């Protein structure tokens, strides 16, 4: 099944943060393709290495932040995720002011990823103290599910506020 069809059916919402948890789903129909994608297919699609193409943070009431830097996102076949974004010094100060725990210009996290096919969201359950996202609030707080969208070979992850407006948008391209 094409990667786009698989990801179009996959969603990763934090079940712990969803107000009304939907019944577990193992299969969802993709729009337009007429084919079905399973949770296993969605996990398989996400496996591998992704390179950061762009990262934007939109703190409420402030100008958007566009860090200059690089990033890598890795998913393994067990649902483990490792993410690292390196930001320039000027953006690091702005990100810190927006509530993001960034140290030495690096936002990093390690943990398990839960895919919610019905809601098209990813939820991260992070490990120990190695995660800079584990503490604090802000646009990357753990209580904000990552809504995903796929265009070609680009994975877009977005966190949203209570009104559904984007707080952070990261675009990741599959690495070869």
The pLDDT tens digits for 6-30 are 333 333 222 222 222 232 333 333 3
Q: 157 near 170, Cβ under 8 Å?
A: yes
Q: What is the pTM of this model?
A: 0.74
pLDDT at 132 over 50: no
Measured distance CA(10)–CA(80) in Å, rounded: 16
Tens of pLDDT, residue by residue over 26-70, are: 333 333 343 347 888 888 888 999 999 999 999 988 999 999 989
Computed over every residue of the chain, the mean pLDDT equals 76
Name which of 116, 107, 120 is nearest 72 in CA terms. 107
Q: 49 near 71, Cβ under 8 Å?
A: no
With respect to CATH, is domain 3-174 assigned 3.40.718.10? Answer: no
CA 18 to chain centre: 16
pLDDT at 4 over 50: no
């Amino acid at each position: 099944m094409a990667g786009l069809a698989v990801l179009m059916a996959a969603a990763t919402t934090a079940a712990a943060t969803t107000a009304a948890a939907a019944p577990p789903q193992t299969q969802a129909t993709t729009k337009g393709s007429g084919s079905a994608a399973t949770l296993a297919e969605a996990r398989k699609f996400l496996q591998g290495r992704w390179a950061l193409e762009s990262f934007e943070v939109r703190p409420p009431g402030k100008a958007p932040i566009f860090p200059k830097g690089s990033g890598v996102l890795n998913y393994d076949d067990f649902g483990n995720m490792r993410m690292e974004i390196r930001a320039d010094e000027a953006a690091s100060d702005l990100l810190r002011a927006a509530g993001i725990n960034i140290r030495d210009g690096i936002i990093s996290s390690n943990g398990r990823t839960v895919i919610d096919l019905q809601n098209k969201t990813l939820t991260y359950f992070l490990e120990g103290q190695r995660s800079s996202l584990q503490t604090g609030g802000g646009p990357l707080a753990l209580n904000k599910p990552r809504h995903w969208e796929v265009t070609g070979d680009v994975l877009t992850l977005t966190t949203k506020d209570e009104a559904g407006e984007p707080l952070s948008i990261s675009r990741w391209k599959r690495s070869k």
